[in-house]
Structure 1
């Protein structure tokens, strides 16, 4: 065979090998691959068809037939029953056609043409979820209706598969109008509103048939995030998001031909009404129920789960003490106000939180005149400054950090400071010279006296001595919340951050509990037929040492016995506490405790538009200091709630007394005065009880308190530029309110004589 013939033979063999394939190529031919693909498709279709036959359309789920929740007092007596679910099913013809279209435009533009399932959208949602882009949408209106009405909200493959099958069946058995009506009527809109009729009332105060297209677009937009998108409580970011969602809905309607472009251009965002509590939540009941719901949400129970019903919730509220707190506010405040004729009286809001320091349980709470009259709870609102009730936390930080004055002396109960009003604070670059109450100057003054009289200049210097960051850290560990107004400058010593009576009750209860952290809790137990949530223990670890807490308590007993809190004193109990009045009298506080009970009472000046206004002139009494109405409410309640109380079991180490001035030499700039402390020597602390912090019961509380002589010989030296007001301890307990207890603060004024709100004491 010649060479040419051999070459042709090789070529024939190669072509034959190409046609027949070799090894793995022979096994995976395109025909076989195509056949395998179609085989798998047929198998998947067959499997899905079997599942389709096997999965029935179930009856409505429990959430679609919701029941009420029961709220109980600590003794088991029913406080409130919420339900039977805030929802009213209405026919689709009761909903304006444009409003119907807003929901379709928001959720599923192809709703009227699809077969109930969007396979492409579902696949995209699954892919995005697996790719780490968060849970993505992809469900049709039919699928969402099926999920709401027949299934649950779980995110499992089994539940998703059931949703697909049932959606196909529902789409075959029901008309599009029936499905849309079911979807609109079963969806959750926030504010405990299920269905469009309840939502229309909750957000706009109208029936669903009166909704316009702009309002409908907002309600449709809400369904993506009901709580987050509630305009009245939404953050700036959430408001931006819901506005974008609202515009998206309307633009889709234009694109589908459901809304005229000119009409669309003229629409403005329809701001919803402020939320109103459900009927039956009048008086204090609505505040208590709302506080319980918020606490459960903080512990992992969603708002939708709570509102779905079926919960039996026992609060820690003591029915007797709750009644006594309400009666104390009525007797000491409301009965003295003329809300109809006196413009100042009309602005006064009272709030209070009372806690058992040993258990951390909230035993009583006052949220305002009534939940149906004033929706915001004054007990938990966090938009006013706590003023000088913050000062003990600065002192606690000084003790906890073993802080020293500018000239190196250990800060303690007996440490001497310069109490001159408008004295520039030393140790910082910026200029800060806070003014004392009535611009009164106190020369050499101990920490005990400065706390009794709430001397701003002393505590501003102490905060710098401690370090603002350290003081803030201590305050946060005691239970205050970081946020607006909580800076790191010396003004922080005057309580310029925002806090609620709930927050301050937690901080003071921690001091009362010898430094063991107390986080107030109002929910004792919560039970549901499907689950029981794990509730946190209100009492935690040590926030500050026992030595620190007990030393602060020792000082605060002096405030009640000898200082600005004398209106809270009684022979029935031993008490520790602190007054506070914010700048321009916008809020007035008394935070105090006995060994058995910690209670914080506050008044807030709230104008008709929610703005903060001055309390000056409340009940025609002049300045409304913390030592007036708040202290008297506190005392009236505590005397009933505690009865014959015990005495504090305190362990105050020698180190907690601090060091007085070192002698005749001039101290370092801005720390303390050069004269020794009037109460104790600088070398060895006197372990006998000082008059201002005596363990003996305080004198009986009377309508007109007797005049007290100062606990120390040092008398205030007045600024030469101002008149010398008498400080014979004005009556803190009379019906006219607090008229200027010595040293009560005005919330961080910078020190300008004649500043509004700094009134002279009345005789």
Structure 2
């Protein structure tokens, strides 16, 4: 028999099967993955009342017997012989033996093996060690194992936060956890609790007063998930998938790994709020699509006074609310009464509230993406009695009518210094859709591609002062048999325009002319340096207008190269991974964009290293750091330099032009202008650069922008490609501060970017982009880009690489050299 028994020596070096936990950088729990919920405890973390309850209920002579209780065993055998089999006789030690090494089959052989194992366990371990194995191992229902997990599952608290009544409920679970738990059967849980309390009273662990108080307490247990401290479900799933790829599911769900990500609570919360608020704003200005359903549809059609006024029963209300889904800050409610300018609503947990006209007046009917109905004049134009709706509770406590947005969005922010992801939100609600648009959505980028086109132009002889013709293009396309006519948006043209202003104003035809001058293949080759896959970049002139499809994370990573002075950083999310003992088994060691590490004067631009873009984003979290043994962690100290992909001068000049997209404006010039990103001026930060982006038919809208230390990309669009972002008309109910007209990057995507950066920049000191070596600032004529001796408002300073400084001074009668292939008059003939 002894040779057939398992080796209980394994109990001395036990590894608890604990779930995977994902944390923020500031150690807040984001999510937990794993079938078995377990929170291992030490003896000093266990309340004495729980120990007392277990001893009184399961094994009152635990500290006196040698693993088997002869008295209890004799009592059980006698009862069996008398036909009164009531079970029992299993000591805590015997239960440990069964739970670790045996099954629950009811046979004499198993019982004998259990007894022998108990003797061996008692010889090997102390009583306290055996008790802790029991407390941490015992199954207690709803996939909770051990009392630490059970306290969380049934009460959402730590074990030491429970009162006597709750402890007694948990202490009664080992007998039959599936049927005695307070979720499945509150009545049985209450009866079992009384048994536990009675035995505690008889054993002298509690007083009569404590007994009565706990026995009469209500059963409060209900299902709780892990005690999530920070809402970041898309981040959690990104980290979860990366850990699965690294270690495999056999270890991930059992080894108790703790994964610490690079995000922080402040920035992640700000990103989520910015995205959600922007989506709600977009959605609501396009009109109300109606209630989820109605409890009394017949009343809404018949207009019968009786049916309209007959109160809704609690059963009707509860049934309707149970079926409705809660999304983010949107919760279901039922309309129970209507006044002329307000409605009364019933929410879950028997809560009632009122929505006033300020929370209703936005809800003109949605017709389609391009049209809205007339603004409502009264509540009855919007809702009816019995409607099941979604509402949003505002900061002032008032409720507002809402609806689940049909549009989608994403926002991602990362450090340009090393690629650490600071915040990421992949949609309005993980409950609504687990599709992560930060990493999985390849969308046309529109004008967000232009900074990379202009970067290629700067590497091919252009400067920020070069003149390019802003004039219509008519080009015969042999393949399609039609004339290609790319247009500006808005469709205005000003003739010769400097490159800085063209990028700041997002001139489409100039981007096309630059690409034609450089060549499609040369441009594509330049763009792949930023980590973009060759296969995502169409090899035709539509590339200049943003026909490439990229994910928001790829776009943000590309913009990071401008912010950091020309380096390609690799985005990563996991900073480190610890095992259940707190030992670090993985530590990220990202390549750094370290400007001081490189002598810019020695950079050979023709020798820029090639990047394998097919692999670059395939595993964004892989920072070339291997899984390490604990003793090797301290050896990973070598600083790795990110590859330089463009010169510091190129990055600086693009940053300057993108700064003009926000701050540039000149109404005194012949053609007054301001940049497309001017709305970001509300942040009052001069150290910001950014670019809007809108695709053909406004199916996608973007804004990507950065400071020296933070890059953020915001996208909005529809998962359903048949929809466009559309347009809105003025709503007379809402006053002046409303967004109307065609949707595009600055109106639709930039507001989320601004709201997020408003918070993110609080902890980032203003830091201007410093010109690198080989840069000079020279006064030029605004109209021609040539040198000038004037100092009036017809001139301004411009940056140049030393080798590209203009040599010609402006004269009164100027012959402009512009990129047109000829004179302006001959443009129609050439294209």
Length-normalised TM-score, structure 2: 0.46
Specify which structure has the bigger relative contact order, considering alpha-carbon pairs within 8 angstroms and separated by 6 or more residues.
1
More strand per residue: 2
